[in-house]
Amino acid sequence: MTTVIADQISVRGVVRQFAGRRVLDNLDLTIARSEFVVLLGPSGCGKSTLLRLLAGLDLPDSGEVVVPKERAVVFQADRLLPWERVLKNVTIGLYGRDAKDKAKAALDEVGLGGRSNAWPKTLSGGEAQRVALARALVTEPDLVLLDEPFAALDALTRLKMHDLVRQLHQKHGAAMLLVTHDVAEAIALADRILVMQNGRIGSAYHVGLSAADRRSSPQREELRAQLLSDLGLTGR
Ligand X SMILES: Nc1ncnc2c1ncn2[C@@H]1O[C@H](COP(=O)(O)OP(=O)(O)O)[C@@H](O)[C@H]1O
Residues that bind ligand X (CB under 6 A): 18, 23, 41, 43-49
- In whole angstroms, the minimum distance from the beta carbon of 143 to Mg ion comes to 18
Measured from the CB atom, is 43 or 216 closer to ligand X? Answer: 43
Among the listed residues 80, 77, 16, the one whose alpha carbon sits nearest the alpha carbon of residue 50: 16
Exposure on the CB side of residue 6, measured as CA atoms within 13 A: 13
Q: Give the DSSP letter of residue 59.
A: -
Please give the helix or strand (H or E) that residue 147 lies within, else none.
strand 143-147
CB-nearer residue toward Mg ion: 48 or 89: 48
Q: What is the DSSP letter of 142?
A: S
Comparing CB distances to ligand X, the nearer of 179 and 207 is 179
Q: Smallest distance, Å, CB 180 to ligand X?
A: 10
Least distance from C-beta 33 to ligand X, angstroms? 25
Name the residue nearer to ligand X (CB basis): 168 or 176: 176
DSSP 193-215: EEEEETTEEEEEEE----HHHHH
Measured distance CA(120)–CA(118) in Å, rounded: 6
* Residue 49 interface partner, choices ligand X, Mg ion, none, CB cut-off 5-8 Å depending on type: ligand X
Interface with Mg ion in residues 33-72 (CB under 5 A): 48
Question: What gap in Å lies between CA 16 and CA 1, rounded to an integer?
Answer: 10
Shortest gap between Cβ of 96 and ligand X (angstroms)?
35
CB 50, min distance to ligand X, A: 7
Given Mg ion, ligand X, none, residue 46, with its beta carbon under 5 to 8 Å by kind, binds: ligand X
3-class SS of residue 34:
coil
Q: Where do contacts with Mg ion occur on this chain (CB under 5 A)?
A: 48
